Structure 1
């Protein structure tokens, strides 16, 4: 079967790096983003593969439906759910419209695109779904003084981790692989768009994130953390999760009596 991938948020940053790498590996592509001119520039620069341009805003129902239709009807071998917005601010300061946009782009869109693509992948017996999240997914226990509060953003990334892990188990034996990628700070336009100057902060390249993701798939990692040297730390987190899950009881815990 030919290699055929759809990448959201493909106009810049990590999404663009995925599209570049996959094109170099011979994938035909559907590139999705809000800025049609950038998508068309990408397509023109990659004449050796077939590149379909799909301008869509994944913060809208119309945009999600347009991309989901492609996911449901085209024989995709890979889906990269990368599109994102940040809106870093405390919940009390977060306008309702921005909260809605964030949840639509980082929670609703990946869920519905994955739902649309997965049945066909199961039927064909192969496929890869990659969800791009971030290390902020693990930052929930951080004290107030340690980092700026961004509850909705952090929660959306944590959702991506939990959904990806659960879906990976659900699809075991089908030939369909699921991965969630959790980079730290990456050198892209992402933070600049939010008005944040991180030029003085050490940052990973988008290309390195993609390298980690693709190698992580080869290693069988469901959770890929490109900047974490000791993978045992992740294993410890997930073992602890399962220990807590398995320790539940119908009896009220003594500390609450």
Structure 2
């Protein structure tokens, strides 16, 4: 597959939700796509749609990012196909909910692999290409949960705090290179996320539409050089409050928002 006539974007989590939305928006902007997710059939459907509607080349890569070595295998597949990447959208992710003492250790390990390890290594492996590109873009999908510790969503919030911190550091390190780096922090969004998590504890406040989040992301990409964007005025106010409030107050408010204390045996 040769897709070097146009800029190329790699989008993880592209089988649904924000990942699918980013793939569609980037195709409309003239990017060829490498779409990554576990569900091969959905990727094939998306590829057919993007080819027909936008005339772009699309390479579906079925991959479970929870598996060790997955980022390296993706990078090797790109190299073997002589694909140089101009944009990386790390969108794949999931969350677990409940008291930390009752979490399934195997599921927590998968959560950290998908939410932390995979985006970190993909960003590192593809960063040389991104920095050489005149269209260089590294977009890391984080969350408003990254702005404070969240009891009952402890692992998810910690993972997203890492993503936001890492993105901001890369933004600073690469300033002047031409690479655009952005951590996108939406609140609850109308995707399959809640179904995958098996919990409504993530529905803290208003649930935004996918297009609303995408509009906010591309507005910042096009018009600003900010390293982090929090989607929604209420979410921005809450993020600011979390930064200035004493930690005990922030923790109590977060715990209340996610439904209060959970029994250790839950």
TM-score (norm: length of structure 2): 0.80
Cα deviation 1:177-199 (Å, max 9, x = unaligned): 11000000100111012223589
Tell me the equivalent position of 1:21: 25
Poorly superposed stretches of 4+, deviation over 3 Å: 70-73, 123-126, 197-202, 229-240
Equivalence map 1:76-155=2 (5 Å): 76-124=85-133, 126-140=135-149, 148-155=151-158
Aligned to 2:70: 63
Given the alignment of the two structures, is residue 228 of structure 1 paired with residue 233 of structure 2, yes or no?
yes
Q: C-alpha displacement at 1:15, in angstroms?
A: 0.4
Aligned partners of 2:147 and 2:242 also within 8 Å: no
Cα 1:54–1:124 shift into 2, 3 Å: same
Quick one: which of 42, 54, 60 aligns to 2:61?
Answer: 54
Q: Answer yes or no: is the 8 Å Cα contact 1:125–1:174 preserved in 2.
A: no
Q: Which residue is equivalent to 1:195?
A: 198
SS in 2 for 1:31: strand
- Please list every run of 5 or more consecutive structure 1 residues that lacks an aligned counterpart in the other structure: 143-147, 241-257
What is the DSSP-based 3-state SS (H/G/I as helix, E as strand, rest coil) of the residue aligned with 1:181? Answer: strand
Q: CA RMSD in A?
A: 2.6
Deviates more, 1:88-97 or 1:176-185: 88-97
Aligned to 1:145: none
**Against the structure 1 CA distance between its residues 102 and 201, is the aligned structure 2 distance closer, same or farther, given a 3 Å change threshold?**
same
Alignment CA distance shift 1:174-1:224 (3 Å)? same
Secondary structure at the residue paired with 1:79? strand
1:249 maps to what in 2?
none
The change in CA–CA distance for 1:212 and 1:71 in structure 2 (over 3 A counts) is farther
Choose from 204, 207, 224 the match for 2:208: 204
Q: Deviations over 1:170-222 (max 9, x none)?
A: 00111111100000010011101222358997311112111111111122221
Q: Structure 2: 5+ residue runs without aligned partners? A: 246-266
The residue correspondences of 1:150-169 to structure 2 (distance < 5 A) are 150-169=153-172
- 1:1-12 counterparts in 2 under 5 A? 2-12=6-16
